């Protein structure tokens, strides 16, 4: 005689669900967690660079290591026009050349973690009047 007999239990099949938070509602769901840097963070990074000369020297060295570059036109007839643009494009209030724009852009990118560059169209909207590094 068995004291405890096993009863036939109905077999239940488990349902597997995705863990919460793994479903993305839209393709840009990563932007939900984005928080822009505050003015205090920008001031902190600039102050650190100003107060610690080694940081400033290291970041400036990285920018200088980028070196020069040359753009090559597919059609050789346009090479002189392209070279003139690279050497003579206005940058910001007093800069000239694409190299100046790239160096300023990289400097901001390394210092603050973000950088914004803008192309300023010409009056007739058929060319580029200048480049601008936004802050």
pTM for this prediction: 0.68
Could you read off the pLDDT of 80-134 as tens digits, one per residue? 999 999 999 999 889 999 999 999 999 999 999 889 999 999 899 888 999 999 8
Q: For residue 117, which phi and psi values (nearest 5 degrees)?
A: -120, 145
pLDDT tens across 15-55, in order? 666 666 555 566 667 767 767 778 888 899 999 999 999 99
């Amino acid at each position: 005689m068995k004291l405890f007999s096993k009863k036939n239990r109905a077999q239940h099949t488990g349902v597997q669900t995705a863990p919460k938070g793994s479903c993305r509602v839209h393709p840009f769901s990563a932007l939900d967690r984005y928080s822009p840097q505050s003015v205090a963070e920008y001031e902190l990074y600039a102050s650190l660079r100003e107060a610690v000369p080694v940081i400033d020297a290291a970041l400036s060295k990285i920018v200088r290591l980028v070196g020069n570059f040359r753009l090559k036109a597919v059609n050789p007839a346009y090479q002189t026009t392209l070279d003139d643009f690279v050497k003579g494009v206005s940058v910001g209030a007093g800069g000239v050349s694409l190299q100046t724009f790239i160096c300023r852009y990289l400097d901001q990118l390394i210092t603050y973690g973000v950088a914004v560059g803008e192309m300023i169209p010409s009056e007739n909207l058929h060319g580029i009047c200048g480049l601008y590094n936004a802050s």
